[in-house]
Chains A and B, each alone.
Chain A
């Protein structure tokens, strides 16, 4: 499944995504590609949500990968060292080709 995010992911908007993500995983969707091409801002709340689900989807044989992060969003992944935990791709196509099954 491809989850396309746009706008801002902060302590306010994270709740909405949390529900969506929980529903996806509950329905057995464990191959998740987050298309961040339209996301212009992320704070620690959003980052925490993404990493908090990672073990669960991987334990079920899937993965949660990130594609098309803008430079300022990518920088947050780097500062926190999330770039060493998540598979990051330049675009969604690259994520699909590399096996981040949609």
Chain B
């Protein structure tokens, strides 16, 4: 059985840190020999989730931090993003809804659709500490 590899990260709730998270995540995914398409999907979904926390949950709390815990299993990747901001439920956006947004040339509302499309499972929990988002991605088979 492949042992579970976990990593923890705490970042300031600022968009200027998104690039750093993507770089760290990319290196970890590469180190775990995750397929590049899976890696791209995970990085984009995590970036979208963090952007939502910074811009919505922490809208009036710019000095807050965001906790990130990620774990690599034998055939899956999971990540928990935790914040102490206002409730922000990552509702499912349907294909129909996103098509309407595109037709209307709306400039917002695409991030959640990307997350739900690219990840295999997303669960949200409002705890007494704040928001807790879990995202899981099944990984392709070319890992060692």
Chain A interface residues toward B at CB < 8 A: 8, 10-12, 41, 43-45, 47-49, 51-52, 54-55, 72, 75-76, 79-82, 84-85
Residue in B51, B108, B117 whose beta carbon sits within 8 Å of that of A79 in the complex: B117
Give the shortest distance, in Å, between B129 (CB) and chain A (any CB).
24
Please report the number of residue pairs spanning A and B whose Cβ atoms sit closer than 8 angstroms. Answer: 71
7 extra interface residue pairs, beta carbon distance < 8 Å, beyond A10-B19, A51-B107: A10-B47, A12-B16, A45-B111, A55-B105, A80-B113, A82-B102, A84-B102
State A82–B110 Cα separation when bound (angstroms): 11
Would you call A44 and B48 a contact (CB within 8 A)? Answer: yes
B56-72 interface bits toward A, Cβ cutoff 8 Å, 1 = contact, 0 = none: 00000000000000000
CA distance A97 to B44 in the complex (A): 33
Least CB separation from A46: chain B residue: B110
Chain A residues lying within 8 Å of B22, measured Cβ to Cβ, are 8, 10, 41
B36's closest neighbor in chain A, by CB?
A: A72
Does B15 contact A12, Cβ atoms closer than 8 Å?
yes
Cα distance A43–B110 when bound, in Å?
9
Q: Is the interface of B mostly helix, strand, loop or mixed?
A: helix
Interface contact B19-A12, CB-CB below 8 Å: yes
Q: Which residues of B contact A55 (CB under 8 A)?
A: 105
Known A-B contacts A11-B18, A80-B98; the reply to A51 vs B105 at CB < 8 A is: yes
Contact present for B15 and A52 (CB under 8 Å): no
Residues of chain B in range 83-134 having any CB-CB distance to chain A below 8 Å: 98-99, 102-103, 105-111, 113-114, 117-118
Q: How far is the CA of A58 from the CA of B15 in the complex (A)?
A: 31
**Interface check B75, CB cutoff 8 A:** no
Which residues does chain B contribute within 8 Å of A12, judged by CB atoms? 15-16, 18-19
Question: Taking the complex as formed, is B35 at the interface, i.e. its CB lies under 8 A from any CB of chain A?
Answer: no
B40 within 8 A of A: yes
Residues of B within 8 A of A80 (CB): 98, 102, 110, 113-114
Interface centre among A41, A76, A84 (most CB of B within 10 A): A41
Q: Which chain A residue shows the least CB distance to B23?
A: A8
